[in-house]
Amino acid sequence: MDRRPPRRPLTLRDVSDASGVSEMTVSRVLRGRGEVSAATRDRVLAAAHSLGYVPNRIAGALASKRVNLVAVIIPSLSNMVFPEVLAGISAGLEGSGLQPVFGATHYDPAREAAVLYEMLSWRPSGVIVAGLEHDASARAMLAQADVPVVEVLDTDGTPIDSAVGISHIAAGASMAQAVLAAGYRRIGYLGTSVGGDHRARKRRAGFVAALATAGVPLAAETAYDGGSALAKGRDMTAALMAARPDLDFLYYANDVIGAGGLLWCLAQGVDVPGRVGLAGFNGLDLLEGLPRRLATQDSRRFAIGRRAAEIVAGGLHGVIETLTPELIRGDTIRTLP
C-alpha cells in the first residue's frame, strides 16, 4: 500500500502528475471518450486507482452541461405504492447512467413546489412527478424546465409534457360495472380523508358516476386518516356494517383497507361474496396470501415507473401513455346475480 492520501481532495491534476499524462488525456481515459493509446490508458488507470481518485462530477457537469440526475417527486414513502414506482424508475434507469434523486411532498402542493425548486437547481436531466395536479408555481417551473417532464400514475387531465399512468376515473367506472353486473345494488364506499389524494378521489368519482348511470346511488360512505391501514379497514368495515347492515357491496379506496375489511368479514363469518361483495384497488402482492383473494385492479405502478424512466432516459417529450389496470376478480365478487 502507498502512504495515506492527502486530506485535500484529489483532482484530475493529481492523477495527471502521478501518471505524467496531461489532465485532458486523463479526463478522456476516465470517461472512456476519444482515442487514447492502450499504454497511456493503463498508466492513467493505474495512477487513478492507486490514488483512490473519484472524479468530481460537479465540475464535470458545470463544464459539460450534462447531469446524470433525475428528479423524482412523490407524495410519500409510507404508502407502499410509491416505493414500487421508485423501484420501477430505478429499473428503467438501469444502464442509462442516470441516478434518481427523490423528494417527498406529503401531499402538500407548497412543499411540492419547494422540493421541485430545490431539485431543478441541480439541473437534472429529467423530472418525474406523481400526478397532474400542481400549484401555479410548480406548473410554471415544470413548463420552463428544458428537460423531459413525466407526470405519472394518472392520465385524467392535461400533462405539461409527458404522462404515463392509468385513468382512475375509468378504473372506478370499470369496477362499478363489474359490481353492477354481479347484481349488487346497495353499495358503500370506504375511502381516505387525505385531501390531496386526487387519484382516489377520481376513482370514487368514476365509480359513483357509473353507478348513477345505472340509476344506482352510492348507499353509504366513510373515510379514515392515518394509522395502520389494515386495522383501519377492519374497524371502518365493522362500523359501517353496524350502521348500515343492508349494504351488499363495499368498495375500498385501496387494497390494504380492503384486506382489513375482508379479514373482518371472514372473522365474523359473513358470507363473502354472497352476502357482501368486496373490492379494493392496486393489485398488491399482499393479497395473494390472504385466505380469500380480494377483488382489485392492478395499478401498474412498477410498469409506470419504468416507462417514465425510459422516457426521461430517451430524452423524449410529449409522450402520453395510458395503461389499462387489469381487473382482478379474486373471490370477493360473486359471478352470478
Partner DNA sequence: CTGAAAGCGCTAACAA
Partner DNA sequence: TTGTTAGCGCTTTCAG
Cα atoms found within 13 Å of the Cα of residue 30, Cβ hemisphere only: 25
Q: How far is the CB of 191 from a copy of itself (least distance, A)?
A: 17
Applying the rule CB under 7 A, the residues between 65 and 124 that interact with DNA are 65-66
Contacts of residue 210, defined as CB under 8 A and 6 or more positions apart, other chains included, come to: 172, 173, 174, 176, 177, 180
Under 8 Å between Cβ of 191 and 222: yes
The C-alpha atoms of residue 14 and residue 256 are separated, in whole angstroms, by: 56
Q: Is the CB of 50 or the CB of 177 nearer to a copy of itself?
A: 50
Q: How far is the CB of 336 from a copy of itself (least distance, A)?
A: 26
Contacts of residue 100, defined as CB under 8 A and 6 or more positions apart, other chains included, come to: 69, 70, 71, 72, 86, 89, 90, 93
Under 8 Å between Cβ of 102 and 313: no
- The dihedral built from the CA positions of residue 175, 179, 181 and 187, taken in this order, carries a sign that is negative
Q: For a copy of itself, how many residues bind (rule: CB under 8 A)?
A: 72
Which of DNA, a copy of itself, none has residue 122 at its interface (CB below 5 to 8 Å by kind)? Answer: a copy of itself
- Choose which of 46, 62, 212, 214 interacts with DNA (CB under 7 A): 62
Cell digits for 206? 368514476
Cell digits for 198? 386526487
Which of DNA, a copy of itself, none has residue 40 at its interface (CB below 5 to 8 Å by kind)? Answer: DNA
Alpha carbon 53 to its chain centroid, in Å, reads 36
Q: Is the CB of 22 or the CB of 268 nearer to DNA?
A: 22
Q: Is the CB of 148 or the CB of 188 nearer to a copy of itself?
A: 148
Applying the rule CB under 8 A, the residues between 7 and 26 that interact with a copy of itself are 7, 9
317 is a contact residue toward a copy of itself (CB under 8 A): yes
- Residues 9-48: x where in contact with DNA by CB under 7 A, - otherwise, as a string: x-xxx-------xxxxx-xx-xx-xxxxx-xx--------
Give the Cα-Cα-Cα angle 184, 189, 190 (nearest 5 degrees).
135
- Residues 120-139: x where in contact with a copy of itself by CB under 8 A, - otherwise, as a string: xxxx----------------
Which of a copy of itself, DNA, none has residue 37 at its interface (CB below 5 to 8 Å by kind)? Answer: DNA
Q: Is the CB of 61 or the CB of 219 nearer to a copy of itself?
A: 61
Stretch that binds a copy of itself, among 15-23, 76-84, 204-212, 328-336 (CB under 8 A): 76-84
- The dihedral built from the CA positions of residue 23, 25, 26 and 28, taken in this order, carries a sign that is positive
The C-alpha atoms of residue 152 and residue 164 are separated, in whole angstroms, by: 5
Q: How far is the CB of 24 from DNA (least distance, A)?
A: 3
Three-state secondary structure call for residue 203: helix
Q: Is the CB of 200 or the CB of 287 nearer to a copy of itself?
A: 287
Q: What are phi and psi of 314, to 5 degrees?
A: -85, 0
- Choose which of 259, 295, 304, 323 interacts with a copy of itself (CB under 8 A): 259
Which of DNA, a copy of itself, none has residue 84 at its interface (CB below 5 to 8 Å by kind)? Answer: a copy of itself
197 is a contact residue toward a copy of itself (CB under 8 A): no
- Choose which of 46, 49, 64, 122 interacts with DNA (CB under 7 A): 64
Which of DNA, a copy of itself, none has residue 244 at its interface (CB below 5 to 8 Å by kind)? Answer: none
Q: How far is the CB of 63 from a copy of itself (least distance, A)?
A: 9
Alpha carbon 123 to its chain centroid, in Å, reads 22
Q: What kind and span of H or E run contains 224?
A: strand 218-224
Q: Is the CB of 205 or the CB of 290 nearer to a copy of itself?
A: 290
Q: Go through the chain and tell me how many residues it has.
A: 337
Reference 252, options 301, 207, 302; nearest CA is 207
